[in-house]
A = this chain, B = another copy of it.
């Protein structure tokens, strides 16, 4: 283990065990360098890790401090999902969320949109521009159905950070994570088949099941640990489940990271019942912890995990570049990819490969992770302040989305209807369930840097909730 990681862990433990208390000043870089016999830059690297994981915060000219402990709302309840497979509904409410473009005059607090205004994206824009100007028109040709080789190699390298050894030849570039999910589902299931899913779950994946005629079996999911393996095992006994589909890292919408031991246990269970796993890791690189959490795929010994991801959340959604490492399903996935869109657009693949190869991806991630973590705390504070008492909220460990639970008889579809004339939109909880559960929940995006106008919008959401509750 590298020295600075070891040092970060030592300091992290001291903080978590209360040796340093919230608000305390942490030892200076020089003092730690002397204490541990390491270089100043090693200490600085260690502090950067602690900063990334929210355990230390720098104050200008005063050094590092333990962040003050924040008051946090109660966690949402563990979901009690229906114990039988259902057809997916809720399309009209999803359409309502996605039919708007960025230019519409609505503050889209409900959309899964990252902040794309960071200066760390400039090299990507430059690269896109340069490829456009290339005289060989390299951005205009059909690409190979597998995707651009240079990008597949970069994806294979990045996968190592999640504990995955996937050669570039086993990676297929897709048109966003949407296409990766869609081809993965069609490569493993037939219409009518049952798919076990975490719940609440990404509405795009739910709608894909609907579109292809599969049934969803929603599993009880803990807001800190992910799906219940006990419930999954019972379900595997009871139903002919053809696929397990979940988002274990920085779950959308709950924000948890499934512990490693559970990931490992899940793979064992899937092996025992011989079921493939669709792992959606689209937010995995945005975990606030460092190093980033492992994928389920990293425990996969026999190619049963189809790992799906994209650069839509980490870099920019409008470029529509995702990827899939489909294990033993490569042949079927290639066919499904071909009949879905043919090859993926060439130019953004080339630009992304440049961006990553030239070392721009990691610094960009570092910046976004720290911005999102800061915004998360701010958003939780606002929800505490402006939402009615009794409001529960998730504790996201990565990404930029907060899941909020209101009293049981509240209806967030009505809330959205009341908010739209005021120019704000949230994501209603029911679209995250195959069967329209979570009507009293909502998802809010905190990817933008906190501003007074966002605070005003959150306050308005809170006030509208109170009005609808008749307070």
Contacts and interface: CB of A to CB of B under 8 A. Distances in A.
A317 B140 contact: yes
Contact of A144 (B101, B126, B132): B101
Contacts of A204: 338-339, 342
Interface in A113-134: 113, 116-117, 121, 125-126, 128-129, 132-133
Given A204-B342, A318-B141, A125 B132 contact: yes
A318 B136 CA distance: 13
Given A101-B143, A178-B342, A117 B129 contact: no
A445 to B, nearest CB: 12
Contact of A345 (B100, B137, B339, B348): B348
A207 interface: yes
A120 to B, nearest CB: 12
Contacts of A343: 98, 317-318, 320
A316 B137 contact: yes
A339 B182 contact: yes
26 contacts: A95-B335, A98-B338, A98-B342, A99-B145, A99-B146, A101-B144, A102-B141, A111-B142, A113-B141, A113-B142, A128-B347, A137-B316, A139-B318, A140-B316, A140-B319, A190-B191, A190-B213, A191-B191, A204-B339, A211-B339, A318-B347, A320-B341, A320-B344, A320-B345, A341-B341, A345-B345
A208 interface: yes
A104 B95 CA distance: 41
Contacts of A138: 102
Contact of A121 (B101, B140, B336): B140
A287 interface: no
The 6 closest A-B pairs by CB, nearest first: A140-B316, A102-B141, A318-B346, A128-B132, A129-B132, A101-B144
A340 interface: yes
Interface in A333-375: 334-336, 338-348
Interface of A: 91, 94-95, 98-102, 104, 111, 113, 116-117, 121, 125-126, 128-129, 132-133, 137-146, 148-149, 175-176, 178-179, 182, 186, 190-191, 204, 207-208, 210-213, 312, 316-320, 334-336, 338-348
Given A101-B148, A336-B211, A175 B341 contact: yes
Nearest to A348: B345
A317 B143 CA distance: 9
A340 B338 contact: no
Contacts of A98: 142, 144-145, 338, 342-343
Contacts of A116: 137, 140-141
The interface centre, meaning the residue of A126, A176, A190 with most chain B CB atoms within 10 A of its CB, is A176
A398 B338 CA distance: 25
Nearest to A94: B338
Contacts of A335: 91, 95, 207, 210-211
A33 B176 CA distance: 57
A274 to B, nearest CB: 23
Contacts of A346: 318
